[in-house]
Amino acid sequence: MSKTYGFCIAGAGFIGGIHAEVISLISNARVAVIYDNNEKAGKELAKKTGAEYISDLEKAVNNSDVDIVSICTPSGAHLEVAIKSARAQKHLIVEKPIEITVERTNQIINEAQKNGVMLTCIFPYRFLNGVKAAKEAIESGRLGKIVLSNAYIKWYRSDGYYQASEWKGTYAMDGGGALMNQGIHNVDLLQYLAGKIENIFAWTRTLAHDIETEDTVVAVLNFSDGFLGSIEASTACWPGESGKVEVFGDKGTIILSDGRITRWQIHDAKENEEEKMLDLEEDKGSGARSVSGFSTEMHYEQINDFIDAIEKNREPIILGYEARKSVEIIRAIYSSADKDRPVNL
């Protein structure tokens, strides 16, 4: 019989609550410890989950009831928790972005490898059936020669969203704005489906919010296979639209909205194939207009996969180095915008 895996949730904010909710639905998992330096928030989530609240990070991750640490702290605080957890021989689930720079991301990956613990980063779109079908079609060459691939994240966040937090929209803890926080899921999806990006030219602006970081960005992409693309991201587009990833080839087109297929036209498609792809899964919600608008179903799938990977001593579906790719792309976009020139990856 499978053992029950004890979790420490580091970070008792909104996303920590999502992790707690999902873990409670997994039969061989339980929340054992809540860590947060905000005592009020930490104790509230601990009471809700029946877990122990521990205010000291070292004691929290070294607790004997903990097997896995879910890191749900502000993005720029992931590194410290990850290092201490890995050195305590605890497996790591890290919310996106895995960290806010490539260098800090590398430290997390290296620490996990050095201590022999598993590491994953939350990218729920990859667990959707539409994404799996699109990946298979692209890799098998059904779209022919790829010519364009784009990601559009035209979301909306109010001034109150930023004002309610001390860290969102700051360089130190958020690492960026609309792209690093909101856009990263579709950046990951774009590179996962379309492949490696060779160089980038980008512009960023802060147009509608009183924050340090960008709320609008446009980037032109040159992919390693020779085709072109773009990324547009914003949190200033009221009322907000679903994030899209598009892949166009000379023999087919696939478009996904929040990971769900909304267009599937391929030259060699079988009868009723397009209809089947469009009906592959229901709309699972979107964070386009509200941070609480998305479904937690794929969080469940990913955390369940991670536990199964530990059980079977196999790699989880999303590895740490996969999470590094989106951070590298986003940092290159910021660098290009700062230097006003193309940047190579």
pLDDT digits (tens, 9 = 90+) for 275-318: 999 999 887 666 666 566 567 899 999 999 999 999 999 999 99
Domains of the chain by residue range: 5-121+296-317, 125-290
- Residue 4 confidence class, pLDDT cut points 50, 70, 90: very high
Q: What is the pLDDT of residue 201?
A: 98
Sheet of 197-205, strand order? 260-266, 252-257, 244-249, 146-154, 228-234, 216-223, 197-205, 343-344
The domain covering 125-290 belongs, at the CATH homologous superfamily level, to: Dihydrodipicolinate Reductase; domain 2 (3.30.360.10)
> Rounded to a whole number, what is the distance in angstroms from the first to the last CA of the chain?
46
Using DSSP's 3-state secondary structure scheme, residue 13 falls into coil
pTM: 0.96
Structure tokens at 139: 């890799």
Q: What is the pLDDT of residue 282?
A: 81
| Residues 250/144, Cβ–Cβ less than 8 Å | yes
Strand 29-35 and strand 5-10: pairing? parallel
Q: What is the pLDDT of residue 283?
A: 78
Structure tokens at 164: 């309610």
Q: What is the pLDDT of residue 285?
A: 67
pLDDT average, residue stretch 334-340: 98
| Residues 320/120, Cβ–Cβ less than 8 Å | yes
pLDDT average, residue stretch 128-148: 97
| Residues 316/306, Cβ–Cβ less than 8 Å | yes
Q: How far apart are CA 203 and CA 18, in angstroms?
A: 33
- What type of residue is 256? L
CA-wise closest residue to 194 among 139, 153, 125, 243: 139
Structure tokens at 342: 């193309």
Using DSSP's 3-state secondary structure scheme, residue 72 falls into coil
| Residues 45/9, Cβ–Cβ less than 8 Å | yes
| Cis geometry, peptide bond prior to residue 316 (ω within 30 degrees of 0) | no
Question: What is the signed CA dihedral for 81, 86, 91, 97, rounded to 10 degrees?
Answer: 40
Calculate what percentage of the chain has a pLDDT beyond 70. 97
Residue 76 burial (10 A CB sphere; 0-12, 13-18, 19+): buried
Calculate what percentage of the chain has a pLDDT beyond 90. 94
Task: Please tell us whether the domain made up of 5-121+296-317 is placed in CATH 1.10.8.100.
Answer: no
The answer to whether residue 1 scores a pLDDT higher than 60 is no
- What type of residue is 290? S
DSSP string, 139-181: HTTTT-SEEEEEEEEE-B--HHHHHT-SSTT-TTTTSSSIIII
Find the helix or strand (DSSP H, E) in which 244 lies. strand 244-249
Mean pLDDT score across all residues of the chain:
96
The answer to whether residue 16 scores a pLDDT higher than 80 is yes
CB proximity list for 150: less than 8 A, separation 6 or greater: 190, 229, 230, 231, 232, 244, 245, 246
Q: What is the pLDDT of residue 229?
A: 98
Q: What is the pLDDT of residue 295?
A: 76
Q: How far apart are CA 68 and CA 89, in angstroms?
A: 9
Q: How far apart are CA 121 and CA 118, in angstroms?
A: 11
Each residue's pLDDT tens digit, 224-264: 999 999 999 999 999 999 999 999 999 999 999 999 999 99
Each residue's pLDDT tens digit, 49-76: 999 999 999 999 999 999 999 999 999 9
Strands (E), 73-195: 91-94, 119-121, 146-154
pLDDT average, residue stretch 162-175: 96
